[in-house]
Structure 1
Amino acid sequence: MADVYALEISLTHEGGHQHIYPVLIKDDQDTVLVDCGYPHFIIQLQEAAERYGCKLDAVNKMIVTHHDIDHMGCLAAFKRAYPHIEIIAHELEIPYISGLKKSLRLEQAESTLSQMPDEAKAHAEQFIAMLRSIEPAAVDKAVTHAERLPWCGGIEIIHTPGHMPGHISLYLSSSKTLIAGDVVVIEDGRLEIANPQYTLDMEEAVRSVRLLLEYDIDRLICYHGGLFEGNIREALGELIVRYASQKSIIEKELH
């Protein structure tokens, strides 16, 4: 069975302290890194990997869950530093990761700028500049839903759109581990939808959470929050019910 390590990285972002959790999957043949953090994060990744006795130059596969800056910010630099790695992403994400299309997050930020109050525009413009600075990287392998990658005992691709159209989560059946990416996050000890204000399609996001109930999960790792402690199936069900209730309330108010 492969070893799975959630690489806790602490950072200060937008005036607050937070943690992100790229994931390292490792066996005797392959070392797979899932997401790589913000720009200039190679040193932080290296330090986090070394806490588990791993070296970044052993990584030979990089799976990118989606093209947000905190997930692919240092991807191009990582590829330059370790040119042997193979980069993998969902087919819908490839145009954005490779720079063939403008980032959907950048489009979203640009489209809302004119509607913001003047006091918020300076911060929004800084965010837009940061998104524009993301360096694209070529993707070596496209994947689709239910595809099973043969590395580390088998890694199943779960297409979990909503946060982004091509967002993926990963399921390791050998250890019943679900690597969530941003399909769910942990806030105050419970599961939530990641950044609802940034989620491009909330209904899709909730359907993606519902899809996770089809998997036998003993261990759930969120990019924001790390390892979830608790009854996973119950927590996923509660999250679905919570959003269904919110939607019902909103629909009643509109009518």
Structure 2
Amino acid sequence: MNIVELPIQFEYEGQPYYIYPSLIVSGEELTLVDTGYPEFMPLIENAMRKHGYDPQNLRNIIITHYDDDHIGALHDFKAKYPSTMIIASEIEAPYISGQVKSERLVQAEALLVEMPVDELASGEAFVQLLMDLQHVPADQTVRDGEWILGGKCQILATPGHTSGHISLYFPELSSVITGDAAVNEENELAVANPQYCLDLASAEESLKRLKALQARTYYCFHEGKLVWDITSAQA
């Protein structure tokens, strides 16, 4: 088993940006972690092929949490590869399926109330984006401490960014896929987008939990992977 970082470049308001979904490779079986923004499926498929992997071998998609940049293309992937198993935490699954209004949408709608007039249009556009996301039921739900992918990957509950956020720990690879529980900030692990965390105190505790693992490599969805210097790790 190994983990492949998939850098996805895109433009927003004329500026270049990247996200870094992860691809877990186990023989011919592929597992994608998070699907990027809506309409990003072709970008991710091309990145997979560039690294020598056939998207037809996609068997699982693990969603770390409900956010538009993590579930945006999920519906497209499930439609094209219907046998793919969608895996999410028990807490996030109702949001991903559309059974319950997502925490992010509730937050975005609440922020509109006190938003400055000059920011209102962008705030309303974000709310509409979240409302337009197409939902997909999870095929499998997981919880903290559970082992998946043949016992090679442990689910870590890392709440804060959202209530049901999960990260993935691979002891044999000394690696963690963090989702938005951590970001690579100038070669240090930090809380990702603290201004959008639903519970900043929990996010900080989750970050401590990830650091305490002292893994060699942390695959962050934003700003890319970090090869950790364990001598500087903080519990």
TM range (shorter): over 0.9
TM-score by length of 2: 0.95
Is 2:87 aligned against 1:88? yes
Q: Distance in 1 between matches of 2:63 and 2:186?
A: 26
Name 1:180's counterpart in structure 2: 178
Q: Distance in 1 between matches of 2:213 and 2:185?
A: 22
Does the CA-based 8 Å contact 1:21-1:224 persist in structure 2? Answer: yes
Residue identity (%) = 38
Does the CA-based 8 Å contact 2:216-2:228 persist in structure 1? Answer: no
Where do 1:103-182 residues align within 5 Å? 103-151=102-150, 154-182=152-180
Provide the secondary structure at the position in 2 that maps to 1:32: strand
Stretches of structure 1 lacking an aligned partner (at least 5 in a row): 241-255
Where do 1:204-243 residues align within 5 Å? 204-231=202-229, 234=232, 237=234
Q: Distance in 2 between matches of 1:132 and 1:180?
A: 26
Name 1:18's counterpart in structure 2: 17
- Encode CA deviations 1:191-243: one digit per residue, 9 max, x unaligned: 221111110000100111111244241111100011114425625x2xx8xxx
Provide the secondary structure at the position in 1 that maps to 2:87: strand
Q: Distance in 2 between matches of 1:200 and 1:34?
A: 22
Letter in 2 for 1:63: I
- Encode CA deviations 1:32-88: one digit per residue, 9 max, x unaligned: 111010111111001111121001111101100001010000101110000010000
Q: Distance in 1 between matches of 2:107 and 2:21?
A: 25
Does the CA-based 8 Å contact 2:217-2:228 persist in structure 1? Answer: no
Q: CA 1:14–1:107 in 2, change beyond 3 Å: closer, same or farther?
A: farther
Name 1:195's counterpart in structure 2: 193
Q: Distance in 1 between matches of 2:51 and 2:10?
A: 20
Aligned length: 235
Provide the secondary structure at the position in 2 that maps to 1:170: strand
Letter in 2 for 1:169: S
Stretches of structure 2 lacking an aligned partner (at least 5 in a row): none
Provide the secondary structure at the position in 1 that maps to 2:78: helix
Does the CA-based 8 Å contact 1:213-1:233 persist in structure 2? Answer: no
The structural deviation recorded for 1:15 is: 5.1
Provide the secondary structure at the position in 2 that maps to 1:220: strand
